[in-house]
Structure 1
Amino acid sequence: MTEHLLSRIDHIQKNNAFSGTILVRKNEDILADSSFGYANRAEQLSNHTETRYGIASGCKIFTSIAICQLIEDGKLSLDSRLHECLDESFPHFDTNITIRHLLTHTSGVPDYFDEDVMDDFEQLWVEQPMYHMRRLHDFLPLFKHGQMKFAPGERFQYNNTGFILLGLIIENISGMKYTCYVQSRIFDTAGMRNSGYFALDALPGNTAIGYIDHEDGTWRTNIYSLPVQGGSDGGAFVTAPDMMKLWDALMNHKLLGKDMTTELLTPHTKEEDGNCYGYGVWIGMKNNAVYKYHVMGYDPGVCFHSAYYPEAEIKLAVCANISSGAFEMMRGIEEELGL
């Protein structure tokens, strides 16, 4: 199995010039541990297993875990309303928006990156320079006076603003900066020693630079394409082994108790194409049973997928420092392993 899997991974890599790390584990056995491309193209520093990669929206699960921890601590509830949790004024927001709505992308609040209005993430930074985006409060001007898209609970619509709001709630209730809370209560607890929310202008060693490739073969880095420091809707850096530790800690109830873990991993809403969503995690269903929990993230110069297949006891992480290719790699691995 392993030999065929590695051959399949190599084939996919050659077809799409994949740059990143692939780690696949069944229980404690490593089925694949492959790295390709450069973490730093100019210096020709290769990607490897311990390379840190940006994961964009893949870290919405961290925000969801943090919120659920505060609920377990008795400081919040799923039915707590947004206007009760923050002192900020949102003139046009519905007062019935709850924590549950925000967690499940059903709140109806305006998304600061609305794909119906713009298709290029970089357009955001024309009026609000990305180098000013270092704290969650820096995002408020992008949506604070926006109009509701629909009534809370009406439907699912993926929404980054909702997770910025959840991060602000975490800061307000815990008294800690969001990134410090996640570092302390999630990364440290799970043993994710090589992960963190690093600023793009102060990246530590063993961190992959994100690359945006052009059709003519030229490229540029993504330093002017993203907020300078990530937050509660995306932007953390992790290693592939650390994502394995995240799944282990979550499934073994090191981050949340059994009941709250079940709540987080329950399908609460569904996209039009049938994909289900829990709290910060996508859920794949077959024959009315869960076969996959997964998280993903895409930004200019970033693509990421990580998944846990409970019946097969397989975990995978596909981390890349280019804009596409992680999905094709994950799909090829799933096909090879019959997942």
Structure 2
Amino acid sequence: MKLKNVELETILANMVQEIDFSGVIHVENDTGVIHTSAHGFSNRSDAIPNTTNTRFGIASGCKFFTAIGICQLVERGSISFHSKLSNLLDHSFPQFNEEVTVHQLLTHSSGIPDYFDEDEMDDFEELWVKNPMYHMRELEDFLPLFQNQQMKFTPGEKFYYNNAGYIVLGLIIEKVTGIPFTDYVEEHIFKPAQMEESGYFSLDSLPAKTALGYIDKEDGTWKTNSYSIPIKGGADGGAYVTAGDFTKLWQSLLNGKLVSKEMLDKMMTPWIETNNDNDYYGYGMWMEKAEDKIVKYHVMGYDPGVSFASAYYPATETIVVIPSNKEHGPHKLMYLLEDRI
């Protein structure tokens, strides 16, 4: 980074105060940690501060894990990116196009219906009025929310962000390996990456040093997200990680500990243009281009009471991880850091 650390600390501290940020900011490159700091409370009622070792929910940041898991199975020859959903699962999807492939599910271009369609529903919390969140413990619990609905478009036609597609990918991992999805991720991704503090924890039995998610209301009051998200995370989101652990994930992936160099290249290929200019999607991650060159690989997550941003910048080999137990903040801090990387 071009700025002296003192300058960086001041600029970050000012922004943290301005946006009332709650969470952790972690910046690291090949020379070591450039900046790490914790802000706000992991538990507001008891005024327990966040620390750099606090675990945070990262919502859709977890799609990264699912994509890595699928790529591992392709490397083993258990499935291929061209494998069809209709040949992989025994579940009933009466309206789905039989040509939907693993590649299309990974790149949000399958056209299958989503259980949370942002065109039709504004608030993720609305889902759990008729479908109690405390019943949502397994991937199969999500199937009734989308499996009988009609296709949104022809497979491969366009990019359309889809949570259900990643639920289906998680079910494929379970079918092929014969073990629960969360066990697979903890054994084949978290362990080799030495992510010792991370896991898929139930909201009703969170371990120590785990931040509660907070939903701030316009009148200044707040509530936790305990009844606003599924009780246990899965293939489309909901794991808890520390900022340090997520840094280890990037490092392990880039260093060939999770997939081969050839497979990493496939993950990091800009397969499809998203709905934003110069923004693309690979397998489980977004990419930003400038002058036909990829300058940023990143993942993000939003849930009630959760926001998350993390990126790898290849030019400087810098990793940024910013989890938060509030609904906004990480991206403003990330853009501020980007101006100075």
| AA at the equivalent of 1:3 | V
**Which consecutive residues of structure 2, in runs of 5 or more, have no partner in the other structure?**
none
CA contact (8 A) 1:21 1:319 kept: yes
Q: Which residue of 2 aligns with 1:6?
A: 9
Which residue matches 2:304? 300
> 2:213 — aligned with what?
210
Match of 2:339 in 1: 335
- Is 1:98 aligned to residue 101 of structure 2? yes
Partner deviation per Cα, 1:280-322 (whole Å, 9 max, x = no partner): 0001111111111110000010000011111111111001000
* Distance (whole Å) between structure 2 residues aligned to residue 280 and residue 26 of structure 1: 22
Q: Does 1:199 align with 2:199?
A: no
Deviations 1:223-255 (A, max 9, x none): 000000000000011000001100100000100
Q: Find out whether 1:155 has 2:158 as its counterpart.
A: yes
Q: TM-score, normalised by structure 1?
A: 0.98
Aligned residues between the structures = 337
**Aligned AA for 1:290?**
I
Q: Does structure 1 residue 239 correspond to structure 2 residue 246?
A: no
- Post-superposition shift, 1:272? 2.5
RMSD: 0.7
1:12-51 to structure 2, matched below 5 A, reads: 12-51=15-54
2:117 aligned to 114, 122, 125, which one? 114
CA contact (8 A) 1:8 1:333 kept: no
Aligned partners of 1:3, 1:293: CA distance in 2, in Å? Answer: 27
CA distance in 2, matches of 1:334, 1:242: 21
Q: Distance in 2 between matches of 1:144 and 1:173?
A: 20
Matching residue within 51, 72, 83 for 2:86: 83
Aligned pair 1:143/2:141, yes or no?
no
The one-letter code matched in structure 2 to 1:193 is E
Structure 1 residue runs of 5 or longer lacking an equivalent are none
SS of the residue corresponding to residue 80 of structure 2 reads coil
- The separation in 1 between residues aligned to 2:6 and 2:58, in whole angstroms, is 28
Distance of 2:275 and 2:239 partners within structure 1: 28
Q: Runs of 4 or more off by more than 3 Å in structure 1? A: none
The residue that corresponds to 1:186 in the other structure is 189
Mapping of residues 305-324 of structure 1, within 5 Å = 305-324=309-328
Q: TM-score, normalised by structure 2?
A: 0.98
- Residue 276 of structure 1 aligns to a residue whose secondary structure is strand
Q: For 2:29 and 2:99, how far apart are their aligned partners in 1?
A: 44
